[in-house]
Amino acid sequence: MRKLTPVGLFAAALTCGAGVALAASLHAHGLGNWKAVAILCVIALVAEGRAMRISTALELTVSFIPMVLAAVLFGPGAGALVGLAAMLGDRDSPRVKWIVYAADRTLAGAAAGAVALAVEQSLGNSTLLEVLAATVAAAFAMAAVDAGVNITAGVLRKRVKPTEHWRLLRGTLTLTLTLYTPLTALYAYAYLQAGMIVLAFFAIPLLAAHLSHSLFARQAQLIEDLTAANTRLETANARLHRVNLSFAASMVRVLEARDQYTAGHSLAVAHYARDIATEIGLPPSEIDLVYLIGLVHDIGKIGLRAEVLQKAAALNDEEWAEMRRHSEIGETILLEVEDYAEVAQIVRSHHERVDGAGYPDGLSRERIPVLARVIAVGDAYNAMTSDRPYRKAMAPDVAITQLVNGRGTQFEPDLVDAFVRVLERESESYRLGVHADFSLDSLQHQQQVPAQIPQAPGQLPGHAAVA
């Protein structure tokens, strides 16, 4: 004997409840005008058969209107019967799923009729306002039963979490209650005034309402899908941002193993360059990128001899020529990293001068990449304010004077002015390049916290049922 699953047990219990509700409702309140109920059954069946697929998990029909109309006009028995009839046209669903939704519609119709009847007995149904009150109550009762069954079935099938299921349902339920409920109340009031002739004019507005609801629901679903896609993209970009920082941190650690000065220098230059870029109003993607480049701008020094890097005296001409090669070596290393072509180009050019006297290519002014010009200012300042093997560090004020003297020759004037403004409002530890943020521990923390605007380098209305 085949063992029942949780969904199967739920379907069986729901079916028993629906059968009892239908029988009890018909026994207690009868069917009302059987001809009108039969017409509403046919309309509900047709409406359900023309369900529109909104997404892989959501489809839309307007069987809500004939179901609530039957419940308001003729009571819980009629509402339950029309709800059951609506599902007779859905022959493509798996058997257990069909049983669940057939029972759901039956119970929802019975609940709507019972609530509408209670309101009518309390208020009456002679005026449009009274009919509207009964219709609103019936609509909410039907929506509550329908949502409860859908969410429970989704949980038991372990396919959709309750919160996700509610996210799928809430848009269509809201539109159904706000758009279809007043329309249904108008039909109910018109029927009470004019009789069955009203049902002859039911189909055209019903289809029009279905079309408008479907278009709205499809648009809402597209917006939700786009929002979800953007969220996934932001998450992926944040992860890529952390990977980039992790790679840069590894490069800095390699440099630190060979030259203690270079590690602290790289971190300080990264911060200075980021703050200059922020001060001049570069976009967030460029700000993130220049910080990354600041970290790896001296990576080419890995390829230099230790005696050149650590020489305690001034370099001779041959050693200075070798030292100058570090920007080209850095470019060669970084070109091996996928998507780092722009990073490599800027690393190559960070020792160019706006007057064309820099190296390795003698570029001038606008031919030098903007971010390379930014790096050059921060790089020169930190070099001047740091101890070197062959000389002591300059005081910040002296280094600032040197920067100002180099405006228009070595450095871009606007970038020097921007950095001076930054230095004037920052702390002494920041000006000396020994701020707590200029450390590998701080860089490790940044890898663990997602960036707010992460970027990769180089990237400058009816019943809703869940399938």
Please report the pLDDT score of residue 351 as a whole number: 93
Strand partners, 58: 55, 466
Domain boundaries of the chain, sorted by first residue: 6-230, 259-435
Please report the pLDDT score of residue 348 as a whole number: 93
Scanning 280-412, the segments in alpha helix (DSSP H) are 284-296, 306-309, 317-324, 326-334, 341-349, 370-384, 396-405
CB-count burial class (<10 Å; 0-12, 13-18, 19+) for 224: middle
CATH number of 259-435, picked from 3.40.50.2000, 1.10.3210.10, 3.40.140.10, 3.20.20.140: 1.10.3210.10
Please report the pLDDT score of residue 27 as a whole number: 87
Please report the pLDDT score of residue 148 as a whole number: 84
Query: For the segment 318-329, what is each residue's pLDDT rounded down to a tens digit?
Result: 888 888 898 999
Q: Evaluate whether 331 touches 297 at the Cβ level (below 8 Å).
A: no
Backbone phi, psi, residue 354, to 5°: -65, -20
Contacts of 163 (CB under 8 A, 6+ apart): none
The distance from CA 93 to its chain's CA centroid, rounded to whole angstroms, is: 32
Please report the pLDDT score of residue 147 as a whole number: 82
β-bridge pairing 58-61 and 463-466: antiparallel
Tokens of 303: 């390829």
What residue ranges of the chain have pLDDT lower than 70? 1-4, 49-62, 89-93, 158-172, 175-176, 200-222, 224-225, 228, 231-263, 389-390, 439-467
Please report the pLDDT score of residue 381 as a whole number: 93
Please report the pLDDT score of residue 283 as a whole number: 93
Give the Å distances, CA to CA, from 98 to 2, 12, 14, 84, 422: 19, 12, 12, 11, 68
Query: For the segment 387-445, what is each residue's pLDDT rounded down to a tens digit?
Result: 776 678 899 999 999 999 999 999 999 999 999 999 999 888 888 887 777 766 665 55
Topology, domain 6-230: Arp2/3 complex 21 kDa subunit ARPC3 (1.10.1760)
Which amino acid, 120? E
